[in-house]
Amino acid sequence: MASPCPFCSTDRDLLADSPLAVAFEDNHPVSPGHALIVPRRHVETYYGCSADEKSAIWSLVERVSSMIAMLHRPAGFNVGFNAGIAAGQTVLHAHVHVIPRYVGDVADPRGGVRHAVVGRGYSEPKS
């Protein structure tokens, strides 16, 4: 029997919500304030979301980013999603990560999400 979806649980403290999406703290945060935005409807990846769900997700990204900025004072953010197992998605319910970033949290943050493919993330500026 398959495990129940951890993002479909209604037993969560929410940071924010709307009729189509919810936001909550990540259970395994990579930095203080790390949050997830998920559609209420169970759908595997972001690309399976309806246009209205996508709009609701990005509206909550804005709200939650503002909340995190006020509470945690990060120096920046990484915002994004993994779509599919090959892209690193481990919970097969669409979700967007809002990851606050802090000066010194990694030795060299250049490249940001481009480091999803290890060793290929750095690029030199064109002169």
Instruction: Give the domains, in start order, of the chain with CATH numbers.
Output: 16-116 (3.30.428.10)
Strand pairing of 21-25 and 76-80? unpaired
Beta strands in 14-85 (DSSP E): 16-17, 21-25, 35-39, 76-80
Angle at 101 between CA 65 and CA 27, to 5 degrees: 70
pLDDT per residue rounded down to tens, the chain (127 residues): 467 899 997 688 999 999 999 999 999 999 999 999 999 999 999 999 999 999 999 999 999 999 999 999 999 999 999 999 999 899 999 999 999 999 988 888 877 776 666 555 555 555 5
Q: Find the catalytic residue in 34, 95, 97, 115.
A: 95
Reply yes or no on whether 95 is catalytic: yes
